[in-house]
Chain A
Amino acid sequence: MDIVVCIKRVPATDTAIKIAADGKSIETAGVTFELNAYDEFALEQALRIKEQLNAGSVTVVTVGPKDCKKQLDDALARGADKAVLLSTTDWMYDGMQVASALAAWIKTVPCHLVLCGRQAVDSDNNQLPANLAGRLGFACVTEVGKLTLADGAFTAERDIEGAREVVACKTPAVISCQKGLNEPRYANLKGIMAAKKKPFVEQPAQLGARGMEIVALSLPAPRAAGKIVGNGAGAVPALIAALRETKAL
Chain B
Amino acid sequence: MSNILVIAEVRGGAAKRPSLETVTAALQLATATGGKVIVVACGSGLDGACAELRKTGAHKVVAVDGPAFANYSGDGFAKAVVEQCAANGATAVLMAHTAMGKDLLPRVAALLDAAVITDVVGLGHEGGAFTAKKPVFAGKATMTARAAKAPFCATVRPGAFAPACSTSDAEVSKAATPAGDLLAVVKEIVASAGGKVPLQEAKVIVSGGRGLKEPQHFKLIEDLAAAFGPGVAAVGASRAVVDAGWRPHAEQVGQTGKVVSPPLYIAVGISGAIQHLAGMRTARTIVAINKDADAPIFKVADFGIVGDAFEVVPALTAAIADVMKGK
Contacts and interface: CB of A to CB of B under 8 A. Distances in A.
B262 to A, nearest CB: 10
Nearest to B250: A159
Nearest to A223: B300
A115 B224 CA distance: 40
A168 B274 contact: no
Contact of B304 (A126, A214, A229): A229
Interface in A134-184: 134-135, 138-143, 145, 156, 158-170, 173, 178-180
A95 to B, nearest CB: 5
Centre residue among A129, A170, A209, A235 by max chain B CB count within 10 A = A235
A192 interface: no
B107 A121 contact: no
Contacts, number: 300
Closest 8 CB pairs of A and B: A134-B110, A139-B183, A211-B115, A130-B106, A127-B106, A160-B99, A131-B106, A134-B107
B44 interface: no
A132 B75 CA distance: 12
B130 to A, nearest CB: 9
Contact of B315 (A178, A212, A236): A236
B186 A122 contact: no
Contacts of B16: 161
Contacts of A193: none
Interface residues of B, number: 98
B196 to A, nearest CB: 8
Given A162-B192, A211-B149, A179 B183 contact: no
A242 B110 contact: no
Contact of B106 (A128, A170, A224, A246): A128
Interface stretch (B24-32, B58-66, B165-173, B305-313): B305-313
B263 interface: yes
B301 A14 contact: no
A123 interface: yes
B103 A130 contact: yes
Interface in B116-172: 116-119, 131, 134-149, 155
Interface string B89-103: 000000001111011
A236 B316 contact: yes
B319 A134 contact: no
